[in-house]
Chain A
Amino acid sequence: MKINDVILQTVTKIVVFIILTFGVELFLSGHNNPGGGFIGGLVLSSAFVLLYLVYDIETVQKGIPFDFKKIAAIGVLLAVGSGTGSMLFGSEFLTHTFSEFTLPVFGATELGTVVLFEAGVALTVVGVVVTIILSISEDV
C-alpha cells in the first residue's frame, strides 16, 4: 500500500530535532530535577522510533548506520565502567565524584563522573528500545 505521507514526513523532519533536543535537555536536567539518563534515553529513542515509522527501515539505517544492540552494550559498559573506575582510585564500587571547572563558553561549571553513568543508562535505553521495536517490526 502506498500512502501519501508528505505532511507526516515534512513535520517529522522538524519535530525529530525538537524531540532530540528535549531528550538532551531532560538528560542534563536529571541531576537536580525530574529527568536523567533513563527518561532522556526514552525520549531520544522515541525520536528514532518516529523516524522508523515515517520512513522505512532501510532509509533510516542508511542515515544512522549503527547496530543498536552494540549501542546498548556500549551503554552498559559505560555505566559499569564508571562504577568500576572508582575502584581504581581506592574508593568503593559505584562511588562518584565531581568538581568545578572553568570552561571557555560556560564559565564555572560543575562536572561529575555521574554524567558518564547516566550517559551509559541513556545509551542502553536507546539501544534496547530501538532493538525491541525493530525486532517486532521484522516479525509483522
Chain B
Amino acid sequence: MNNSIVLPMIIPLITGILLVFFRSHIRLQRIVSVVSIVCTVAISVYILQLIQQEGILRLDFGGWLPPYGILFVADSFSMLLVLTTSIITGILLLYAFASIGVTHEKMFFYPFVFFLITGVNGSFLTGDLFNLFVCFEVMLLASYVLITLGGRKVQLVESIKYISINVLSSWFFLVAIAYLYGTIGTLNMAHLSVRIAEVGQGPLLTVISLIFLIVFSLKAGLLLYFWLPGSYSAPPTVVAALFGALLTKVGVYALFRTFTLIFYHEPGITHKLIGVMAIVTMVFGSVGAIAYQDVRQIVAYNVVIAVGFILVGLAVSTEAGFQGSIYYLVHDMIIKALLYLIAGTMIYLTGKTRIDEMSGLIRNYPLLGWLFFITLLSLAGIPPLSGFIGKVYMGQGTIEAGAFLLLAVAFLSSIFVLYSLLRIFLNSFWGETIINEDDDVPLKKGMLVPCVLLGILTFALGIGVEGIAVYVQDAAETLMNPQIYIEAVLYER
C-alpha cells in the first residue's frame, strides 16, 4: 500500500474542483494552478525514485485486494509518462496565461485543463481495464469542453466530428470490455494476463484483442487518424498543444499496456498487424505532412507520423525496441508541445495560416526562428537533441528483430518529417520579410518563455539521457517481462 501513487490523479482533480469556486479571481486561479502542477511534478519524481528502490507500487482502493478491487499500479513506464505529462502541462499553462484570454479564463478553462490531466494521469496509472475506460472518459469529456470552448464556427464543426468519433470508439471500448469480461471473467489487467496465459489466447480472444486494437488505434491516431488533423487544428493554440502532446499518447500507452501485458501470445497476428498499421500510418502521415500548405495541418500530420514511429517498437517487441519507444514517447510529448506552440505563435504573429503567405519571420523574431530550427533538428533526430537516442534504440530493436522493412520506413519517415518542417522554415522564416516595422506585432514574453523552456527541455533530455536511462531500462524490462508486473500486483502483500 502506498497512497502517494494516487496523488498524481487526485491533486489535479481537487485543483480543478477548487478552481471552479475561484471562477472570477483569475490571479488566484493562476497561482493555484502553478502551485498544484509543481506539487504534481515533485510527487511524480518522488514516486519514480521509490519504484527504483521498492519495485512496482500498487494501491488497492478502499483496501479491496486484487483481483476484486480496483487498483492503481505505478511502474517506471507509467510514472515516466505521468512525470512528462505534468511538466508539459505546467509549461503549457504558462503559455495559456499569456495567450488564452479573459473570456476563456472565466469560462472554467483552467478547471478543465486539470480535469484533462486527471484523466490522462489516471489512465497511465490504473491497473484495471474498466477503470482505464473511466479515466479515458474523464479525459475525453474535458477535451470535448476544451475543443468547443470559445464557440467559433470551425471549432463547432470540428468538435462534432471529434465527439462523434470518440463516442463511437468509447462504445467499441465498452463492447470489447464486455466481451473480455464475458470470456475471461475478470478485468484486472494482471489477473487477465494470468488467466489468458492459462487458457491460451485462442481465436476468440485474439478477435477481442483486435477490437481493443481498433479502439486504441482510434484514440492514438494509428492508421485511424482521419479525424485528427481537423480536430487538432480547430481549438486555440495551447489546447491544440495539450491535445497533440498528451491525448494521442494515452492511446499509445494503452496499446503498449494491452499488447505487452495481456495479449502477447499471438504476435504473429496482433503485433504483425500493429507493424503493418504503423507502416501505413507513417507513409500516409508523411504524404500528408508534405502535401499541405497550412501550418496546423503539417504539424498535425507530424503527430500522426510520430505515433506510427513509436509503435514500431511495439511491433518488433524487443527490449531495445521498447526502450526506443519509451525514449521517443517522452521526447515526442515535449517536442510536439513545442511544435504546436511555435506554429500557434506564428499564426498569432502573422494572422495567416498558410506557409506560402508568411515570409521572413526570423528577421523580426530571431529567437522564435532559432527555436523552430532546434525543434526541426530534434524531430529529425540530430544529436545531441532528444530525438536522437529514441531513434538509435529503435534502429537497434528493429535490426535485432530482423524487421528491415519497418526500419526502412521508420527512418525514411524521419526524412519526410525533416522535409516537411524545412519547408515551413524555408517558406516562413527565411526570405523577404512581409511584416514592415510599423505593424510588427510584438511577441509577448509570456509566449516566448514556455517555448524556450521546452527548447531547453529537449536539449536537457538529449544531453542528460544518462539520467533517465535507469528508468527507461526498468520500464522496458517490465514491458518485456509481464511476470514482474503480475507478481507485483497479484502476489505481493
Contacts of A95 in B (CB 8 A): 61-63
Q: Which stretch in A27-35, A56-64, A84-92 binds the other chain? A: A84-92
A73 lies within 8 A of B62 (CB): no
Q: Is the interface of B mostly helix, strand, loop or mixed?
A: helix
Q: In chain A, what residue has the closest Cβ to B18?
A: A77
Chain A residues bordering chain B, tally (CB within 8 A): 15
* 15 contacts across the A-B interface (CB closer than 8 A): A70-B21, A76-B13, A77-B14, A77-B17, A80-B13, A80-B14, A87-B6, A92-B3, A92-B59, A92-B61, A93-B3, A93-B10, A93-B62, A94-B62, A95-B63
Those 10 A-B pairs whose CB atoms lie nearest each other, nearest first: A73-B20, A94-B61, A94-B62, A93-B6, A87-B3, A92-B63, A77-B17, A95-B62, A76-B17, A73-B17
B21 lies within 8 A of A80 (CB): no
A80 lies within 8 A of B61 (CB): no
Instruction: List the interface of chain A (C-beta within 8 A of B).
Output: 69-70, 73, 76-77, 80, 83-84, 87, 91-96
**A92 CB to nearest chain B CB (Å):** 5
Instruction: List the interface of chain B (C-beta within 8 A of A).
Output: 1, 3, 6, 10, 13-14, 17-18, 20-21, 59-63
- A69, A70, A73, A93: the one contacting B61 at CB < 8 Å is A93
B10 lies within 8 A of A92 (CB): no
A69 lies within 8 A of B59 (CB): no
Contacts of A92 in B (CB 8 A): 1, 3, 59-63
- Name the residue among A77, A87, A91, A93 with the largest chain B CB count within 10 angstroms: A93
Q: In chain B, what residue has the closest Cβ to A91?
A: B63
A73 lies within 8 A of B3 (CB): no
A80 lies within 8 A of B20 (CB): no
A80 lies within 8 A of B62 (CB): no
Q: In chain A, what residue has the closest Cβ to B70?
A: A94
A69 lies within 8 A of B20 (CB): yes
A80 lies within 8 A of B17 (CB): yes
Alpha-carbon distance between A77 and B20 when the two chains are bound, in angstroms: 11
Contacts of B62 in A (CB 8 A): 92-96
Q: A76-B13, A87-B6, A93-B61 are in contact. List 8 more A-B contacts (CB 8 A).
A: A70-B21, A73-B17, A76-B17, A80-B10, A80-B14, A84-B10, A84-B14, A92-B61
Alpha-carbon distance between A22 and B265 when the two chains are bound, in angstroms: 53
Alpha-carbon distance between A69 and B18 when the two chains are bound, in angstroms: 12
Contacts of A73 in B (CB 8 A): 17, 20-21
- A84, A93, A96: the one contacting B59 at CB < 8 Å is A93
B20 lies within 8 A of A70 (CB): yes
